[in-house]
Amino acid sequence: MKRPILYLIALLLGAGLAFGREPKEDDSNVIYDESKVPQYDLPPLLVSAEGQRVTTAEAWRSVRRPQILSLFSNLIYGAVPDPESPVKVEFEVRKTDPQFMEGKATRKDVQIRFSNSKGKAEMLVLVFVPNRGTKPVPAFMMHSFNDTHSPDFEAHPQRPGRLRCGWPLGEFFDRGYAFVAVYQQDLVGHNEVEFLKGIHPLFYRKGQSFPKASEWGVLSAIAWGAMRAMDYLETDSDVDHTRVAIMGHSKMGKAALWTAAQDERFALAISAQSGCAGAALWRRRSGETLEKMVTRFPYWLCRNAWKFVNQEDDLPVDQHMLLACIAPRPVYVHSGLQDTWADGRGEYLSAYHASEVYRLLGKKGLTSESSPPVGEAIIESDVGYHIRQGGHSLQMYDWERFLDFADYHLKN
């Protein structure tokens, strides 16, 4: 399909689809009923591409995990190509406000600049460090829908009131965490289809003006940005860069899992209602499917992913394998009972099946194939989970469980 046509389709289908809003149109063929979920066989986690059984932590690490990551890179999210001209990266703390939230925290506005002979791009990372307590502190990094350049992150007397796209910053500070926000659209557009601006042009080879079928789409670019923010954190003595959790809700939950799977510097990952292309299993085709996703958001994934539309059973991976690539680092998955578009059951099953690798690595995973009761969080496990009443949003209950999970794993 030609790009202008795709662009038009994306505009028409994406128009009016606010972030996180469940689609109203063309829902007739969506599976919401468990009895309609097709039979499927998941690709084995612990058998290598050469057909060898993987029975040791060493074989997982040196053989199977790299194979799986490479499949996700080339077929699902898109690999970041080697740039022809080296990319120079600069960090600058542009502003420091030690009086943030009446002196509870220090806010740093950190600009990260990228440049090479092909162009320039930049991102703005906000780092909030609690003033109380001994430094360095552990941190949560959030892939943010909200713009770090806008007033969205200014201290507000009513926080933590705004929760859908908000964040209970005070809670993080009280529990001794720094909070780091990375904006999803600094390097790539929300539903980018042209890739002529932002970070991609810096990586094009001579004559190239669009990512190849196996090269990075939107989610890969967002994940790459978080890794650069982690590069900065490694230079910031206020934050313990060995104890950074990466998190995100919905599209940002998909990005958080992909970030953590690739970059082992992230100590823990939290997927909040990440659904399709996040924690949910492709093969269940329940709620949002690959077809629905690439029709509305053609390049959140890479172009190769289109080849598996309605052919999910041919995929050599499923999303439990993405979660497994995070092992042995703790991963937490959160679903909403009424968030059927994100397939809460499929999110749980992914976490459950990934647990096989956690156990191989001597960690604790989920032991029951049945989802836990609504409102009961599994915290004391390296694979954590909760499902609560309600739809597609982040509620105070969710934030508290994420913090409990981080307390349990990052503070012990």
Shorter beta-carbon distance to ligand GCU: residue 127 or 280: 280
Q: Are 72 and 322 in contact (CB under 8 A)?
A: yes
Residue 19 as a binder of ligand GCU (CB under 6 A): the answer is yes
- What's CA 341's distance to the chain center, in Å? 17
Distance CA(90)–CA(232), nearest Å, equals 9
Q: Which of 73, 144, 220, 250 is catalytic?
A: 250
Shorter beta-carbon distance to ligand GCU: residue 20 or 225: 20
Residue 336 as a binder of ligand GCU (CB under 6 A): the answer is no
Residue 276 as a binder of ligand GCU (CB under 6 A): the answer is yes
Q: What is the DSSP letter of 335?
A: E
* Nearest alpha-carbon partner for 159 in 142, 171, 147, 150: 171
| Min dist. Cβ of residue 333 to ligand GCU (A) | 14
| Min dist. Cβ of residue 280 to ligand GCU (A) | 9
How far is residue 294 from each of residues 23, 74, 76, 312, measured CA to CA in Å?
14, 16, 11, 13
Q: Are 321 and 350 in contact (CB under 8 A)?
A: no
Residue 250 as a binder of ligand GCU (CB under 6 A): the answer is yes
Shorter beta-carbon distance to ligand GCU: residue 251 or 388: 251
Q: Which stretch binds ligand GCU (CB under 6 A): 14-22, 106-114, 154-162, 215-223?
A: 14-22
| Min dist. Cβ of residue 66 to ligand GCU (A) | 27
Q: Are 384 and 80 in contact (CB under 8 A)?
A: no
| Min dist. Cβ of residue 22 to ligand GCU (A) | 6
Q: Which stretch binds ligand GCU (CB under 6 A): 16-24, 206-214, 232-240, 302-310?
A: 16-24
Q: Report residue 377 as tokens.
A: 């969080």
Residue 334 as a binder of ligand GCU (CB under 6 A): the answer is no
Q: Report residue 126 as tokens.
A: 């906000």
237 as an active site residue: the answer is: no
Q: Are 287 and 276 in contact (CB under 8 A)?
A: yes
Residues 251-270 that bind ligand GCU (CB under 6 A): 251
Residue 288 as a binder of ligand GCU (CB under 6 A): the answer is yes
Q: Coil, helix or strand for 205?
A: coil
368 as an active site residue: the answer is: no
DSSP readout, 99-116? EHHHHTEEEEEEEEEEEE
Shorter beta-carbon distance to ligand GCU: residue 108 or 251: 251
Backbone angles phi, psi at 91, to 5 degrees: -110, 140
* Residues annotated catalytic, as ranges: 250, 392
Interface with ligand GCU (CB under 6 A): 19-20, 22, 250-251, 275-276, 288, 293, 341
